[in-house]
Amino acid sequence: MRRRLRSVALPLHRHSMPQVGIDAALVALAYFLAFRLRFDNGVPDDYADLQAATIAWVVGASVVVFTLFRLYEKWWRYTGHRDYVNIVEAVTVGTLFVPAFVALTQPVIVRSGRGDVALTVPTGVLALFFLLTLTLVGGARFVSRAVYERPPGGFRARSDARRVLIVGAGDGGRLVLREILRNRDLGLDPVGFVDDDPTKHRVRIDGVRVLGRTDELPRILDEAEPDEVTIAIPSAPGTLRARVVSACRTRGIPVRTLPTVFELLQTGGANVVRQARPVEVEDILGREPVRMELDRVGRYLDGEVVMVTGAGGSIGSELCRQISRVAPRKLILLDHAEDNLFRIQRELEDDRHVHPSTLAVVLADCKEGERMREVFAEHRPTVVFHAAAYKHVGLMELNPVEAVRNNAVATRLLARVAGEHEVKRFVLISTDKAVAPATVMGASKALAEYAVEAAQDRWPRTRFAIVRFGNVLGSSGSVVPIFRRQIARGGPVTVTDLRMTRYFMTIPEAVQLVIRSGSLGQGGEIFVLEMGDPVSIRHLAETMIELSGLRPGEDIAIEEVGRRPGEKLHEDLFNPYERTQPTPAEKITRAERDRLDPAVVEAMFDEVGLLVLEGDAAALAAKVSELTGMRASAALADPPDAPGPQAGRAVL
């Protein structure tokens, strides 16, 4: 109850006036009927006088109470179950006003043999007034919503309406159905539900029957003959979406899906039917999603000053979106790409959940030490997510100096500045390509991991952590955008090796797990996100072609062009010398390994830094490959279980 009274201003607007008038009439009617029903033989004169003397006060007080309890903040047709609880509270307070007012004002005095006595409202009248007011006030809202959702005369689809089958009879499915029933202009006619819950089988939901389970979908499609299918399960696993798409594709029926939970959060969940979009490869290949309460797992960021580097990139921008929802004191967006930074700035400023005063937008390059120290001194971040990195393997092979400068040397610099300013937490976004690296890009990220581990020993007051994961669908370094462009041009879709597999995860899930990992570290850990089963790149290409309504190998050719230098057939998430350890968090494990001596890391970066300054690309590529390879060779020669030359250290 106290949460409703925190605002002094009365939440009224011009659209509230008709609602206030109707409620006033209903309260007056309830008060009048309460007296009439209490006295079977007519209301005695004294009580009739009491009723006449108090009815205006009761109506006025009830309207004020209803206003304070915010019953007029929304149209009645949008009344939900929480609003009905609010109505009960408001009517209770309004009813208690009646005896209190009568006791204080004593409007009617009755003469008796014992002297003058102030007349009170009978308990029966109060009980009846409470029940009648609750019924009339709540009932008016219920009727308004019922009429809005299903107009008088029932739902009549337009003659040209498209027949739609809804997969999922849960909250998402019912929401879709209500939107269709409310909005005839959508031109949709719901023909049934499909749901795997056996308790819903053959049940009618708002007049629409559940026709069967998803494994019966081929039969249901043949019998119902829908024009389209809508998957109304925002958290549906990729396997279910793939099963639905497969059954519909053979019959030429288009499939649409509701946005994911993350997308619905970003849009506020309004007008979900119009937000339904075609099924994409991310929906099918994305593994069963991890469901976390972001408010809970990201609570450690509440009130913190959080910096995200690479804020305009695919991972960095999603980090900004999700972090902005856990109430940081300030969110610092840092990027050296002007267009990307401007795009995420405008997106967050337009988000009604984000107050512009909590955003700080910094155009800067992580490779510039003096600039980074200026930024840290000005904004004093307490948590840093370092997502800025070059990702394109082929491009980095052609530009090894920039790859190492940006991915390795800049990470070492940023970790040093964070340690000097006693940042509480520093999280590096790493990659599976840092495992047994075979390319310059992978080796540069492996060096970045070494730098962060060494920083933990040098600045123990900062909790450094590394989060390693594989490919994310739709990121700037992903193969998915390349395949999309090739399909749009009519093919061919080029695959370097038909045997190749990769791990894939959706960007929102990866970022959610990154945020969770940031709360786990005690200092220097490497957290590895469980990526599920690896996906065949050939299967990925075929799936994307089929989702485009084409046939792989016939409409769009798939060509094998040969692997590039250093490109692996299969990626790994752990080095051979790392031990897999569990963590308290679902889908997050820890890679345990002996840390390099910080002095060794410093010597490594001295050599690398000199080659970067000289711009000797060939020598630099050879050196980083040598350095990362030496660690693996040393670790394999001295297994983790065997006592090394230094306890807890690996020496090159």
84 and 29 belong to one structural domain:
yes
60 and 172 belong to one structural domain:
no
> CATH number, domain at 180?
3.40.50.720
From 214, 247, 279, give the residue that closes a domain.
279
Domain limits at 89?
2-149
Residue 555 is predicted with a pLDDT of 84
- Spatial distance between the Cα atoms of 432 and 528, rounded to a whole number of angstroms: 9
Helix runs in 464-566, H state only:
480-488, 507-518, 537-547
254 and 353 belong to one structural domain:
no
Residue 646 is predicted with a pLDDT of 33
Query: 557 in a domain, yes or no?
Result: no
77 and 196 belong to one structural domain:
no
Confidence of residue 151 (pLDDT cuts 50, 70, 90): low
Average pLDDT of the chain, as a whole number: 83
464 and 583 belong to one structural domain:
yes
Contact 442, 392 (CB under 8 A): no
Least confidently predicted of 68-77, 381-390, 587-596: 68-77
107 and 186 belong to one structural domain:
no
The answer, yes or no, to whether residue 264 has pLDDT greater than 80, is: no
- Spatial distance between the Cα atoms of 309 and 362, rounded to a whole number of angstroms: 9
The DSSP 8-state label assigned to residue 61 in this structure reads: H
Query: 577 in a domain, yes or no?
Result: yes
Residue 131 is predicted with a pLDDT of 94
Task: State the average pLDDT over residues 428-450.
Answer: 91
Q: What are phi and psi of 74, to 5 degrees?
A: -140, 160
Total domains in the chain come to 3
The H-or-E segment that residue 172 falls in is: helix 171-182
Give tens-digit pLDDT for 447-466: 999 999 999 999 999 999 99
Give tens-digit pLDDT for 485-525: 888 888 899 998 889 888 888 888 889 889 999 989 888 89
- Spatial distance between the Cα atoms of 46 and 468, rounded to a whole number of angstroms: 81
168 and 91 belong to one structural domain:
no
Least confidently predicted of 217-221, 242-246, 280-284: 280-284
Task: State the average pLDDT over residues 272-277.
Answer: 63
The answer, yes or no, to whether residue 217 has pLDDT greater than 70, is: yes
Alpha-carbon 533 to chain mean position? 23
Higher pLDDT, 110 or 323: 323
Give the bridge partners for 189, in sequence order: 163
Say what the alpha-carbon torsion angle 393, 399, 401, 404 is, to the nearest 10 degrees. Answer: -10
31 and 130 belong to one structural domain:
yes
Residue 3 is predicted with a pLDDT of 39
Sign of CA dihedral 598, 600, 603, 604: negative
Query: 126 in a domain, yes or no?
Result: yes
113 and 258 belong to one structural domain:
no
Residue 159 is predicted with a pLDDT of 64
Query: 555 in a domain, yes or no?
Result: no
How far is it between the farthest Cα atoms of the chain?
A: 115
The answer, yes or no, to whether residue 441 has pLDDT greater than 60, is: yes
Q: Which two tokens stand for residue 578?
A: 């790392």
Task: State the average pLDDT over residues 16-26.
Answer: 89
Residue 287 is predicted with a pLDDT of 57
Contact 521, 423 (CB under 8 A): no
The answer, yes or no, to whether residue 445 has pLDDT greater than 50, is: yes
Task: State the average pLDDT over residues 532-541.
Answer: 85
Residue found by looking up tokens 């485009």 in the block: 548
The answer, yes or no, to whether residue 94 has pLDDT greater than 70, is: yes
Alpha-carbon 552 to chain mean position? 33
Confidence of residue 200 (pLDDT cuts 50, 70, 90): confident
Q: Which two tokens stand for residue 44?
A: 């005695």
Residue 275 is predicted with a pLDDT of 62
**Cβ-Cβ contacts under 8 Å for 592 (sequence gap 6 or more):** 526, 578, 579, 580, 581
**Cβ-Cβ contacts under 8 Å for 232 (sequence gap 6 or more):** 166, 167, 168, 170, 172, 173, 175, 176, 258
Residue 617 is predicted with a pLDDT of 86
Query: 230 in a domain, yes or no?
Result: yes
From 119, 149, 179, give the residue that closes a domain.
149
Query: 546 in a domain, yes or no?
Result: no
Residue 185 is predicted with a pLDDT of 67
Q: Give one DSSP letter per residue of 227-296, joined into a string.
A: SEEEE--TT--HHHHHHHHHHHHTTT--EEEPPPHHHHHHHTT-SHHHH-EE--HHHHHS-SPP---HHH
Residue 285 is predicted with a pLDDT of 66
347 and 212 belong to one structural domain:
no
Confidence of residue 633 (pLDDT cuts 50, 70, 90): low
Least confidently predicted of 149-158, 219-228, 540-549: 149-158
Residue 150 is predicted with a pLDDT of 62
- Spatial distance between the Cα atoms of 125 and 31, rounded to a whole number of angstroms: 8
Least confidently predicted of 255-264, 406-415, 425-434, 632-641: 632-641
> Which range is most confident: 125-134, 194-203, 468-477, 501-510?
125-134
The answer, yes or no, to whether residue 261 has pLDDT greater than 80, is: no
Confidence of residue 114 (pLDDT cuts 50, 70, 90): low
Contact 570, 500 (CB under 8 A): yes
Q: Which two tokens stand for residue 314?
A: 């695919």
Query: 226 in a domain, yes or no?
Result: yes
Give tens-digit pLDDT for 415-429: 999 999 999 999 999
106 and 254 belong to one structural domain:
no
The DSSP 8-state label assigned to residue 358 in this structure reads: G
Give the bridge partners for 381, in sequence order: none
Query: 552 in a domain, yes or no?
Result: no
Contact 473, 507 (CB under 8 A): yes
92 and 183 belong to one structural domain:
no
The answer, yes or no, to whether residue 237 has pLDDT greater than 50, is: yes
Give tens-digit pLDDT for 379-394: 999 999 999 999 888 8
